[in-house]
């Protein structure tokens, strides 16, 4: 795609990948999805001969309103916090960024990014329990989120891995190994990149409120943008 864009006279481009290979390079070895993200960056850069300036955006989990009918983690969260069911979350956490902030960063990188530069995009480091609690508060529910024991998270990942193997499926994320990442805190400081691309920060709670209060769309949460 970038080769054809360059031949067509396109002078600037942005390639959006993911943050996993940056915050925990060990994930590249264990997970085909993360490995593909790392390898695709180099492939895209090598595809350009120098006439197209290509920079990389490496976003954390982007959270925002999505299209109706799109299944998503926040969509599940909204239904969950509006039900009387108890709330549970793994002990780990990660970084989140508003989809609007990510869009701002992409646009700025497209205008000003240098060839080969990589921009690690994020906003707030939040535990999974705290994220679910924020959804609950936005829905008017004051309740405690219970932490799932690490051993149970690992056992669940192992069970999913065996089920996939028996069914003949190959996962982009190895479940029994990914369960270890779920209980860790994949945090980082986004300040250096934010100072360069000047995208808004501090709006995660407002985005969550918009998701919970939205009646016309179903929310979407993704660890990557295609």
Position with higher pLDDT, 155 vs 194: 194
Whether residue 215 has pLDDT greater than 60 = no
Cα(183)–Cα(142) distance, rounded to whole angstroms?
24
pLDDT on residue 37 = 93
Per the prediction, the chain carries an average pLDDT of 87
pTM score, two decimals? 0.86
Whether residue 223 has pLDDT greater than 90 = no
pLDDT on residue 225 = 41
Q: What is the CA radius of gyration of the chain?
A: 19
Copy the structure tokens of residue 190. Answer: 């986004």
Strand, helix or coil for residue 212: helix
Read off the pLDDT band of 24 (50, 70, 90).
Answer: very high
pLDDT on residue 170 = 73
Strand, helix or coil for residue 120: strand
Whether residue 153 has pLDDT greater than 70 = yes
Question: Are 204 and 111 contacting, i.e. CB atoms less than 8 angstroms apart?
Answer: no
Whether residue 216 has pLDDT greater than 80 = no
Residue 17's contacts (CB-CB under 8 Å, 6 or more residues apart) are 37, 38, 40, 41, 56, 57, 58, 224
pLDDT on residue 67 = 47
Cα(112)–Cα(109) distance, rounded to whole angstroms?
5
Can you give the residue ranges of every domain in the chain? 2-222
Fold of domain 2-222: Rossmann fold (3.40.50)
Read off the pLDDT band of 19 (50, 70, 90).
Answer: very high
User: For residue range 129-146, what is the model confidence (pLDDT) as tens digits?
Assistant: 999 999 999 999 988 899
pLDDT on residue 71 = 56
CB atoms within 10 A of CB 12: 15
pLDDT on residue 163 = 83
Top-confidence range, 136-145, 148-157, 176-185, 210-219? 136-145
pLDDT on residue 224 = 45
Whether residue 155 has pLDDT greater than 50 = yes
């Amino acid at each position: 795609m970038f080769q054809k864009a360059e031949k067509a006279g396109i002078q600037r481009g942005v390639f959006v990948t993911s943050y996993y290979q940056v915050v925990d390079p060990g994930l590249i070895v264990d997970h085909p999805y993360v490995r593909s993200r790392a390898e695709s960056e180099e492939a895209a850069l090598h595809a350009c001969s120098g006439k197209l300036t290509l920079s990389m955006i490496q976003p954390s989990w982007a959270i925002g309103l999505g299209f109706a009918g799109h299944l998503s983690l926040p969509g599940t969260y909204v239904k969950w916090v509006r039900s009387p069911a108890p709330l549970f979350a793994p002990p780990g956490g990660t970084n989140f960024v508003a989809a609007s902030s990510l869009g701002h960063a992409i646009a700025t990188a497209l205008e000003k990014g240098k060839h080969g530069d990589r921009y690690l995009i994020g906003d707030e480091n939040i535990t999974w329990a705290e994220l679910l609690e924020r959804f609950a508060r936005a829905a008017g529910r004051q309740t405690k989120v219970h932490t799932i024991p690490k051993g149970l998270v690992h056992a669940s990942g192992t069970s999913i891995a065996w089920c996939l193997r028996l069914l003949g499926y190959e996962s982009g994320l190895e479940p029994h190994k990914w369960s270890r990442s779920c209980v860790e805190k994949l945090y980082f400081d986004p300040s250096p990149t934010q100072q360069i691309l000047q995208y808004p920060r501090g709006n995660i709670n407002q985005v969550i409120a918009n998701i919970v209060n939205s009646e016309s769309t179903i929310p979407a949460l993704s660890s990557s943008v295609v």
